[in-house]
Amino acid sequence: MGAQVVAELEQVHAPEASFAPTAAGAGIELYWLPLGAGGWFVRLNGRVWEAVQARREHRRPLDLYHTALVVRVPEGRFVVEDCWPIPNADGPSRGVLVEGPVFGRRLGRWRGFRYEVRCWPGGTIADAGQAVASPQLLSDDPVVARRLLELIGFLPAPVWGRDELGTGEMWNSNSVIAWLLARSGLPTEAIRPPAGGRAPGWQAGLTVANRSPNGIDDAATVPPLVNFKERLRGDLKHQTRTGTWFTATRRERSKCSASSWACWSSLTAL
């Protein structure tokens, strides 16, 4: 991010939203995952990066968090998460709907430099056992939960780790979650990270979400990848090929998203 100042979220000892164990009904649950919980390399680099940022901003270093969602609707349970690196090319098995480049657009032609956004039916959050003050129940409204799932196909997919959209901080996994929550109509001002921590990229997602009243960000310069597995249920006949669609148009992207909920519902049977 260079000299750009990361907007910090207000620290509180207890989030204003309620906490609850996973429920069988509809709901949106937020998980705060310590950065690098699954490996020492990411954890070490995160601490070094935060120490540098804290020195530049004349503050003490804070704990860094990565966020993910568990979304429940009557049709099933979905894990929504932005992940990098991509483990393998079998994105449909993880419910991958969007991909974007990491560090640079040209680098995105290699899988090691692409991130993926998952809407994983019955999926798992790798480091859920190390989550702090989680799950945080944000909503139990099935209409809001469905809307969030439908919005995933409209996500902007700028370069990860860069401020390509001019928000004042880099775009990353927290940006994705913040964008989805804001565009779903949830009161994001009540959402706070655990005390003593922050979520870099969160404000970038909120800023971009507020620019796009229709839930689609026209400022996104890199079209996403939209992966769907061929399915047929009732009158639904939606067929696409899997692959990296950096050449997809906005119109093509919208058409895919319009029927995405039906596709996701059908994936629960896989």
pLDDT tens digits, one per residue of 71-105: 999 989 999 999 988 888 888 899 999 999 999 99
The reported pLDDT for the residue numbered 54 is 79
How many CB atoms within 10 Å of residue 197? 19
**In a domain? residue 3:** no
**In a domain? residue 6:** no
The reported pLDDT for the residue numbered 253 is 40
Predicted TM-score of the model (pTM)? 0.70
Residues in the chain, pLDDT under 50: 1-23, 214-270
Count: domains in the chain: 1
**In a domain? residue 226:** yes
**In a domain? residue 5:** no
- Residue whose C-alpha is closest to residue 26's, from 115, 149, 193: 149
How far apart are alpha carbons 126 and 111 in whole angstroms? 20
pLDDT tens digits, one per residue of 202-224: 999 999 999 865 444 443 333 33
**In a domain? residue 181:** yes
The reported pLDDT for the residue numbered 220 is 38
Domain of residue 253 covers 18-267
Contact 10, 114 (CB under 8 A): no
The reported pLDDT for the residue numbered 85 is 87
The reported pLDDT for the residue numbered 176 is 97
**In a domain? residue 9:** no
**In a domain? residue 52:** yes
Element (H, E) at 117: strand 114-121
The reported pLDDT for the residue numbered 38 is 63
**Helices marked H in the chain — which ranges?**
40-56, 142-151, 173-183, 202-211, 250-258, 260-267
**Per-residue tokens: 255:** 């058409």
**In a domain? residue 80:** yes
